[in-house]
Structure 1
Amino acid sequence: MVHIWDCGAGQLRELGSVSTESSGYDEAVDRGGAWETPAVAWHPHEPQLMVAGEGRVVRWSPAGPADLNGPPRTACYRSLAFSPDGRTLWATPSSGDEDNPWDSSDVLDPVSGAVGSGPRWDTGIAEHPGGGLVATLRSDQGATYVLFARVDHETAPAAAMRVLRRALILDVDGYETPVFSADGRHLAVRGNAYDNSLEVFAFPSLRRVLATTLGEPSPGYPYPQEWLDGMRAWSRQNIAFGARPGVLWVGTPTGTLIEVDLETETAAVHDVPAGSPVSGLGSTAAGELVVAGTGGDLVLLPVRSDSPKIRGPHSDTARAAVTAFLDATSEVPEVPEGDDLENHLVVTDGTRTWESDDLATVDTATAADPTWLRLRAAVNNARDQGN
């Protein structure tokens, strides 16, 4: 069930809900799978929410919910996103490829219901507040790429994501949708399948400014039960940028919020009124924090400060960040069948940068290097010895 709330005038008021008739917890476990929450996407300009469950996409508006025509009943979307102009709905995995659904995505026209094919992405799409640029994930068990793509109207329809060569590379998989700060100068990524990691990168430089593990780091397999319990205690949707530049908020299992000032490298802890463990954290367009607790509580928190605030999207600072990023890279050419996207990327982990040729020849790595780099070196060494 997805609940929709009005948060105007500093108050929370429930407007309605959408049921996707998805399997409950027990039914999903009985089928041997994991229970999935419905995928959701807000329209960028209208009070319209898309909700995807098992074989359905429901459009909610103040007039009520209605099924979206077009997606086949076999569709099982895990992520949805509107294009920045609101005329196209992106959905993944593909409903048209039964054998390899994650190799592509669906492009839907919400008006006609027409379904087309789009590029591969797998975990949410975040629009940069400067406009014309989005970030998404392309995950694999060994490594995850944070891909950036142009979506402006100048040379192609906004429905087309034109992937750029500059990309972030993260260790292993299991990450959440990236989160941009209101001024567009920072990008935060939460996740990792084996650790409760949190990384923040400066934008447009992609320099890593924060890397930490929430809770105890992974002790290695087999995992002790107490460590698994600690992993589950931390919500994966527990970070948000407010209206103040350079400040990231983190919700904790102890019912507090940590205010991280990325500029001064300081942190402060604040109690949440309800006091229950934080199960979700977000921010409104005005920069207020919305905190969900495991006790079923939902709290709207205004953040008071004398610091300057960024008002609305597409500020001069955010637009300048997008321009600088685009000037420093280029679009990936159409990748021929059988070729890999990574052969056309320039990737960074926030501290080092690798051209595609570098990764094809790297043959040394230490225990301090990320897993993906050690695997790459081992594969290259095996290939060279075979030759």
Structure 2
Amino acid sequence: MTGEDGLRQWTPAGVCEPEGAPATASYRSLAFSPDGQTLWGSPSCRDEGGGWESSDVLDLASGTIGAGPPWDTGIAEHPGGGLVATLASDQGATHCLFARVDQGAAPAVIRPLLRALILDCDGYETPLFSADGRHIAIRGNAYDNSVQVFEFPSLHPALATTLGDPSPGHPYPQEWLDQMEAWSRHNIAFGSRPGVLWIATPAGTLVEVDLETRQAVEHDVLTGSRSSALAATATGELLVAGSGGDLVLLSVLSGSMQTRTASRDVSRAAAIAFLEATAEIPEDCDDLETHLVLTDGIRTWEADDLAAVTSASATDPTWLQHRAAINEAQVQSE
């Protein structure tokens, strides 16, 4: 845990300051490596870390601290192992970065990969992988209640929707703001059933979304209380928190005969396929964006492609319209 008093670690022996941590450590985001032996912190609190330009990698066993790539918000582990997803956010656009993590290595180092998703604007939550590793969901954003789901490892879009009414634009009516704030920011989860996303609503219901058929079924769960959070346990049960202080654990009957062993095999194959289809960004890279191969799930851009974009339509994402306008202005000034 990090706060005004620095970094604190809870162990069976009590609360202590992790050895090697900067005395003034005050991270915005923390995550453990998959093996639990390394702590990742962002932004960097090292004297030479450059703040948001890098992150910190703390080996809990040796107390040594090193440099990691820039990231924010949180880190999600792919169930197939050896792969994580995180965000690099900016007001104009957010990159969903994928990275290799060497299993069994100490410290566990985040090695960013070339393939990345690009999302419009910022304000997203930590990415979420399905239990079988075949989908990744991202809840956002700063301007509306968006939910985007991508197939994995292809990164093809599986679902893109807005919860409630879409943004009417600035100035925002108070009625719309109240509606937007009624939705929890932590209200999506993947359970044990493959290809199904669960969404908790302000009405206290759970919406079951079949990502293949795009059909949705609503289930009454909470009475007289809005859903304030939704999560899944390691075994696939759903845990729903209500604004009235209630906590409900749900077991979902599945018609799938897929065993946990089969699910692990599927997720492992998905992770391997993704890793084999891309490569690591060079360690001496000073700017990740100059190497990333970006996709929104439909189109793909190399770094050189974006540098040449000088026009965009009103239906293009905001980040692409801004990039085109900046590039066109530079061309006109030459």
Sort the TM-score into its range (normalised by shorter chain).
Answer: over 0.9
By how many angstroms is 1:96 displaced? Answer: 2.1
Q: Secondary structure at the match of 2:260?
A: coil
Match of 2:241 among 292, 315, 323: 292
Aligned to 1:249: 198
Aligned to 1:329: 278
AA aligned opposite 1:183: D
Aligned to 1:19: none
Aligned to 2:257: 308
CA distance 1:314–1:120, change in 2 (3 Å): farther
CA distance 1:69–1:157, change in 2 (3 Å): closer
Q: Secondary structure at the match of 1:357?
A: helix
Match of 1:352 among 291, 299, 306: 299
By how many angstroms is 1:115 displaced? Answer: 2.7
RMSD: 2.0
CA contact (8 A) 1:129 1:313 kept: no
Q: Render the CA deviation track for 1:30-85: whole Å, top value 9, x for unaligned.
A: xxxxxxxxxxxxxxxxxxxxx32333333335665444344334222121111122
CA contact (8 A) 1:190 1:197 kept: yes
The CA distance in 1 between the partners of 2:2 and 2:151, in whole Å, is 33
CA distance 1:242–1:62, change in 2 (3 Å): farther
Aligned to 2:145: 196
Q: Render the CA deviation track for 1:267-313: whole Å, top value 9, x for unaligned.
A: 11111145411111111111001111111221111112222345269
The CA distance in 2 between the partners of 1:147 and 1:217, in whole Å, is 26
AA aligned opposite 1:138: A
CA distance 1:237–1:55, change in 2 (3 Å): same
The CA distance in 1 between the partners of 2:152 and 2:131, in whole Å, is 12
The CA distance in 1 between the partners of 2:48 and 2:179, in whole Å, is 37
Q: Tell me the TM-score normalized by structure 1.
A: 0.81
AA aligned opposite 2:161: T
The answer to whether the aligner puts 1:74 opposite 2:24 as a matched pair is yes
Aligned to 1:281: 230
The alignment-based identity, stated in percent, is: 66
CA distance 1:370–1:362, change in 2 (3 Å): same
CA contact (8 A) 2:131 2:263 kept: no
1:144-163 → structure 2 map (5 Å cutoff): 144-153=94-103, 159-163=108-112
Task: Name which structure has the greater RCO, CA cutoff 8 Å, separation 6+.
Answer: 2
The answer to whether the aligner puts 1:318 opposite 2:261 as a matched pair is no
By how many angstroms is 1:386 displaced? Answer: 0.9
The aligned length equals 334
Unaligned segments of structure 1, at least 5 residues = 1-50
Aligned to 2:2: 52
By how many angstroms is 1:153 displaced? Answer: 4.0
CA contact (8 A) 1:244 1:310 kept: no
CA contact (8 A) 2:137 2:147 kept: yes
The CA distance in 1 between the partners of 2:240 and 2:34, in whole Å, is 26
Aligned to 1:121: 71
Aligned to 2:175: 226
By how many angstroms is 1:352 displaced? Answer: 0.9
Match of 2:324 among 363, 377, 383: 377
CA contact (8 A) 1:332 1:344 kept: yes
Aligned to 2:333: 386
The CA distance in 1 between the partners of 2:298 and 2:117, in whole Å, is 10
Match of 1:141 among 78, 81, 91: 91
Aligned to 2:35: 85
Q: Tell me the TM-score normalized by structure 2.
A: 0.94
The CA distance in 2 between the partners of 1:185 and 1:272, in whole Å, is 27
CA distance 1:284–1:333, change in 2 (3 Å): same
The CA distance in 1 between the partners of 2:305 and 2:269, in whole Å, is 30
By how many angstroms is 1:351 displaced? Answer: 1.1
CA contact (8 A) 1:56 1:73 kept: yes
The answer to whether the aligner puts 1:94 opposite 2:44 as a matched pair is yes
By how many angstroms is 1:133 displaced? Answer: 0.5
AA aligned opposite 2:61: V
The CA distance in 1 between the partners of 2:220 and 2:263, in whole Å, is 32
CA distance 1:110–1:274, change in 2 (3 Å): farther
1:265-280 → structure 2 map (5 Å cutoff): 265-280=214-229
